[in-house]
Amino acid sequence: MCSKRSARLPHIDAGNHLWVAARTERRGPRRVRLRAGVAVGRVTAITSIAIFVLTAPATALRIELLRSVGSLPPHIVGLFEEAIDFEQAPSGVYYVFDRRAHSVYTIDPARTGARKAVDIGQEAGRIIQPAGFDVGPDGSFVVGDVPRAQQRVQTFSATGDRLTGFFLPGEPAARITIGNQMLNGISSIQHAGQTLLISHPESGALITEYSLSGYARRSIGQLRQTGYEEERDLHIAMNAGLPLVDPTGGYFYVFLAGRPIFRKYDANGSLIFERVIQGSELDDFLASQPTRWPRRKIEDREVPFVNPVVRTAAVDPEGQLWIAFANAYTYVFDAQGDKIRTVQFSGAGMINPTSLSFTRGGRLLVTPGCYEFDPRSR
């Protein structure tokens, strides 16, 4: 579904050259038949326009290399086995989600020391096989884990005390994975303050909004067409994504696999616009994507394992959407959904982000490495 804004005639750019040429060629013969006296002049003009459009130089955005302006000190980073999320609460306290250690750490604002706030375990108040993490606007945080093959959601206070918990029904219809890390299901969880957002296309909608105690309050977003409608598991996988709260209002939804697309919804859950993501940096990467996916046995059924196109995404304080792709490029889109930047990250070396998170002061925190960037630098 597209908004009226996205349906307007597009501005001519490199991505629309062939479209404009095809339109002008279709108009040419019709004018020759109707007004033969001016046909030659018009055909010549139209042909000239078509040639100009087809040969006009592309105006691709330059690739910006953002260099880190800081990071957690080595003696703290060395504590983590696999830090896949790095966030800061409004209080200034930092949080690190260590997937392999089944733990959540807090770090003081001065970055002098770390404390394990949540530890490994299947019982309530601990986590096992964690997959999703997010910090809420009040400093509380949520963790999604999988004890005994069940998807569980728990919320914790800023100091790591368990507040609420509940289990999600069923298993994901498919797994979107990088290595052994699952990105869909509870991995997509987003703390919205008084509610939690989870990508749950198995329910027939893109996003399910839960209360903190586990009550499903509403569903947001219709599933997109994928071409895999006859294969339900793959159809669901191609609709899995990342629900993101826009601090300026509403929500974004970024599809993880298949054709790269994102949507913007207002606070009531109504679609504002949809954008197809394109760029020369993605052409070869998208062309190499398979059309058939391997299946692996999970419990008593075979589940397709799908590689993602999008690795992570976040919204900055100005409402701009940052999408990091699995090939290490990041695109930035303004509040109207237009691409405005192409970015790569550099720390000790080039970084392929597993998480992006913005602080209240506008700094960008990135894993792996627990680096800090100034997104305003050019």
**Average pLDDT of the segment spanning 208-227:** 96
> Of 72, 25, 3, 63, which Cα lies nearest the Cα of 342?
63
Banded pLDDT at 173 (limits 50, 70, 90): low
Specify whether the CB–CB gap between 337 and 57 falls below 8 A: no
pLDDT 10s digits, 79-118: 999 999 999 999 999 999 999 999 999 999 999 999 999 9
pLDDT of residue 371 exceeding 80, the answer is: yes
Shared domain for 284 and 334, answered yes or no, is yes
Beta bridge partners of 71: 371
Q: Are residues 127 and 20 part of one domain? A: no
Tokens of 137: 């606007």
Whether 9 and 118 map to the same domain: the answer is no
Q: Do 154 and 219 belong together in one domain?
A: yes
Q: Are residues 69 and 38 in the same domain?
A: no
Range with the poorest average pLDDT among 54-58, 68-72, 267-271:
54-58
**Do 104 and 151 fall into the same domain?**
yes
Provide CB contacts within 8 A for 101, sequence distance 6+. 80, 81, 82, 120
349 vs 170, more confident: 349
Q: Which long-range contacts (CB under 8 A, 24 or more apart) does 290-298 make?
A: 293/234, 293/237, 296/175, 298/171, 298/175
Q: Is residue 184 part of a domain?
A: yes
Query: Does residue 79 sit in the same domain as residue 48?
Result: no
Please tell me whether residues 207 and 96 are part of one structural domain.
yes
Instruction: Tell me if 347 is assigned to some domain.
Output: yes
85 inside domain: yes
Burial degree of 33 (CB within 10 A; 0-12, 13-18, 19+): exposed
pLDDT for res 176: 85
**pLDDT higher at 246 or 233:** 246
180 domain residue, yes or no: yes
Q: Whose CA is closest to 307, among 285, 323, 322? A: 285
- Residue 168, helix vs strand vs coil: coil
Q: Into how many domains does the chain fold?
A: 2
What pLDDT digit, counting tens, does each position of 125-143 carry? Answer: 999 999 999 999 999 999 9
Are residue 85 and residue 229 in the same domain, yes or no? Answer: yes
pTM: 0.83
pLDDT digits (tens, 9 = 90+) for 13-42: 333 333 333 333 333 433 333 333 434 344
The CATH number of the domain where 92 resides is what? 2.120.10.30
Contacts (Cβ under 8 Å, ≥6 apart) of 140:
155, 156, 157, 158, 163, 191
Residue 315 sits at the vertex; the CA angle it makes with 314 and 321, to the nearest 5 degrees, is 90
Domain co-membership, 286 together with 359: yes
Query: Residue 36 is part of which domain span?
Result: 4-55
In a domain, 269, yes or no: yes
Q: Is residue 246 part of a domain?
A: yes
**What's the confidence (pLDDT) of residue 52?**
35
Same structural domain, 34 and 107 = no
CA 237 to chain centre: 14
Residues 73 and 49 in one domain: no
Structural domain includes residue 378: no
Task: Tell me the CA distances in angstroms from 315 to 39, 187, 268, 285, 301, one per residue in order.
Answer: 52, 17, 19, 24, 36
196 in a structural domain: yes
